[in-house]
Each structure stands twice: as structure tokens, then as C-alpha cells.
Amino acid sequence: MARQRNVKLEALLKECGYTHQELADQVNRTAEVLFGKATQCTDRHVRRWISGDVQWPWSRYLLALQEIFGRSPEAMGFVPRKSSRVPAPPPRPTRVKEERPVRRREFIAVGLAAALGLDAIPSAGRLGASDVERIRAIVPALYNYDHSLGGGALHEVAALALGQVHHALNHCTYGDRVERALYAASGDLAASAGWFAYDAGRQEAATGLYNEALQAGMLAGDGQLQARVWSNLAMQARLLGRDQEALRIGRAAVETRQAKTDPWLMALLHCRQAVGHARVGERVRAERSLVHAETAYGRAKGEPAAWLSFLTPAELTGLAGAAHQALGKHQRAQELTGAALGMLDSRFERNRVYYQLQRAQALLDGGDVEQAVDEAHRTAAMMERVQSDRVRSRLSDLRVQMRRYAGSVPEAADFIEQTRATER
């Protein structure tokens, strides 16, 4: 029988948030519960199951997989031989507590919900300033995780927190001053949840959350929140291929009074506008926006808002690289992106992966295929630690472009094969 890729198992990994190594580790843990001793499953075993090289795993692996996913071998995409049979589970060893694995994203969400103290948000009674501060503290804590984990791990817990804030708004009592502060806090949380959904690839959910944040910003009289949401909507429009719409939205954000009085926000807005102008071929406007961004950043003092904590010199340099890449200046883009990576703080792991992909793209577009493959390999190895559909989409696009070199550059062919599991 010809080898056939196990798309069912591949889909299960994606649904449950497992990387190859994470599933192998879970197989070993589950087998220890089942057999009383660990197996030696590795990521190589998982890759061979998915590629179809192994169509019916050994019994000890098969039983562990059935326990993990709660499905029959055939439902997991395995193909039995004539002599194959589903093995009977062994007697459970005594004094070992049976564990049922939890999906990775759900595990993160549960852990974060507890760490953030969401249960402390009142559901009845009168709300005061301390309650507002408790709600406001959620967003900075979430962004600390976002920088490393990515939005795929956070949008659900942010939505859960937002739901509890909605309940408090509708079932508690409060005065006028607290009411405005509550709307500002809930808008901040909605905008953050929208960003996480955007990063996770859930664009419809992101749009709804952004609209909610805009409404809350108007009710609170919070112009900065509204400018922030306009900026994120512009990014989303650009992601969806609506470049002119993105520029118009971004221009509206730049022209707000709040942006003009907040150099942190203005620097980011001009950087994003620079990328937008570059994407439609407006070189002079793109370069002008980059100059405006540098000028605004030079006026920034103190600490930015939590959602702007990623805006460092490394980020500005990386966005400048993105603008030059869009203008077709691949060598300059590669230099700027490399400089950004050299400056980037270790806590910004998701952004590091993003900019490593940007550098790989610049190298590829500049004709340095082998070095682009090396950079992409390093990126793929790091990507398993973050959950960002936006970043994974970029890797998928890079893989597609590398196919044209697969016949002439062995490294490109190897990269495509080794990252097949990332195909969308």
C-alpha cells in the first residue's frame, strides 16, 4: 500500500495544541500510567505516524494514544494490517493515580484564570475604586504572557475575564465616577482580547471585540483607547489584504488628539503607517512616516501603557525593516531586521519568532536561499513554544515560496519536508 499522510492525527494535534515533542512526552507519561514504566517515544515517532511511514504504531504507543485522544485507532487515522488488532489495555498499576490529559490551551487558560484572580471580580454588591483597579490589573498581567506565549493561549482567558466584567457591570451598583472607570477598564480588556484573537487567527471574534472596545471607549470618554482600537483595526485590514482601508483607518488614528499628545502611541501609529504606505508602493510617504515615528519616540518619557510595552527600539527597527521589505529593499530589510533581533529582549519570544521569519523572507527575496533556509529552520524550532496563527501563517507562506527552489537547493527541499506539519 502506498504511503498516505495521516491527516486525521495531524488535525488532532492541531486541535489539541500539541507539538510533536509535546505529544511524544504525553505518550510517555500516559504509558507510565498504563504500564507502570515509561516508553521511549520521541518526536521522530510522531513525525513518522503523521507522514504515514508508520501506519499502525506499536501496542504500547497505540494504547497511550487511545487514552490521550479518547478515539479508536482508525478514528485517529491509523490503518491496520491484516494481522493487526487493537490491543487490550493492561491492568492498571496500583498506587498510580490515573490522569486524563487536558488540552494544552485549556490547561493554560485554567492556569491563567487562577493566576489572574478572576474569581475576585465581584458578581454582586457595590463596586468601588479598588474593584476597578483589580480589573485594570488583568491587562498588564495578560500582556506579560502574550509576549512569550502568543495570542492563541490567551484569547479564551481574556474573553472569560471580559464576561465576568460584563456581569459586574450589569449586576452590581456603582457611582458615576466608578462607572466611567469601569467602562475604560472593560474597553481596555476588550481591546486586549481582540488583539489576542487577532493573533490567534480568529478575525471575526477580533472584530467583534474591537467594536465593543470602541463603544466602551466612547462611553468612558477614553480617546486613547479609541485610537488604539483604530490602529488595531488597521492592522487587521492589512492582514486581510485591504491595504487602502488600513491606511485610511490608520490616518484617522494618527489625527486623534490623544495620539498627538501621546508620543508612545504616535510612534507606533507612524511605524504602522510606514508599512502600509510601503505595501502600496508609496516610498516617499513610507520614509516620511518612519522619520515621524523616530521623532515621536524620541519625545517619549516614562513608561508606556501595558499594551504598548512591546514598543522598544528593537520593535521600531523591526517595523522599519518590514517597510523596506515591502518596498523591495531586501538587503536593507535584512540588515534592519537583524539589528532588531540583536536588540530584542528575551521576554519577547513571539516577536523574536516573527522577526526571524521576516529576516528569512528578506534573505529569500534577496536571493540568498541557503541562509534563508538556515534562518527559517531556527524559527521553526522556536515556533513550537508560541501559539500565534499570524506567525504560523507567515511560516506557511515562506514554505510555499521555497518550493520553487526545492529542485535545485537540497536545503530548501529538506526544510519543506521537515516542516510539513505546519502546512495550513
pLDDT of residue 349: 86
Are 63 and 121 in the same domain? no
Are 60 and 143 in the same domain? no
Are 262 and 308 in the same domain? yes
Are 47 and 113 in the same domain? no
Are 16 and 72 in the same domain? yes
Residue 85 has pLDDT above 70, yes or no: no
CB 220 within 8 A of CB 180: yes
Q: Which residue has the higher pLDDT, 40 or 104?
A: 40
Residue-wise pLDDT tens digits, 159-214: 888 888 888 888 889 998 999 999 999 999 999 999 999 998 889 999 999 999 99
CB 412 within 8 A of CB 405: yes
Are 52 and 118 in the same domain? no
CATH of the domain at 206: 1.25.40.10
Question: 191 in a domain, yes or no?
Answer: yes
**Percent over 90 (pLDDT), the chain:** 39
pLDDT of residue 98: 34
Question: 141 in a domain, yes or no?
Answer: yes
Residue 102 has pLDDT above 70, yes or no: no
Are 122 and 15 in the same domain? no
Residue 38, domain extent: 7-76
Secondary structure in 3-state letters for the chain: CCCCCCHHHHHHHHHHCCCHHHHHHHHHHHHHHHHCCCCCCCHHHHHHHHHCCCCCCCHHHHHHHHHHHCCCCHHHCCCCCCCCCCCCCCCCCCCCCCCCCCCHHHHHHHHHHHHHCHHHCCCCCECCHHHHHHHHCHHHHHHHHHHHHCHHHCHHHHHHHHHHHHHHHHHCECCHHHHHHHHHHHHHHHHHHHHHHHHCCCHHHHHHHHHHHHHHHHHHCCHHHHHHHHHHHHHHHHHCCCHHHHHHHHHHHHCCHHHHHCHHHHHHHHHHHHHHHHHCCCHHHHHHHHHHHHHHHHCCCCCCCHHHCCCCHHHHHHHHHHHHHHCCCHHHHHHHHHHHHHHCCCCCHHHHHHHHHHHHHHHHHCCCHHHHHHHHHHHHHHHCCCCCHHHHHHHHHHHHHHHHHCCCCHHHHHHHHHCHHHCC
Question: 35 in a domain, yes or no?
Answer: yes
Are 53 and 114 in the same domain? no
Domain final residue, candidates 330, 364, 390:
330
pLDDT of residue 421: 63
Are 195 and 133 in the same domain? yes
Total domains in the fold of the chain:
2
Are 57 and 110 in the same domain? no
Question: 355 in a domain, yes or no?
Answer: no
Question: 70 in a domain, yes or no?
Answer: yes
Are 326 and 248 in the same domain? yes
Are 121 and 71 in the same domain? no
Residue 100 has pLDDT above 60, yes or no: no
Domain final residue, candidates 307, 330, 353:
330
Question: 354 in a domain, yes or no?
Answer: no
Question: 83 in a domain, yes or no?
Answer: no
Domain final residue, candidates 298, 330, 362:
330
CB 28 within 8 A of CB 106: no
CATH of the domain at 65: 1.10.260
Of 28-32, 135-139, 190-194, the one with minimum mean pLDDT is 28-32
- The average pLDDT across 360-371 equals 93
Question: 344 in a domain, yes or no?
Answer: no
pLDDT of residue 238: 93
pLDDT of residue 2: 60
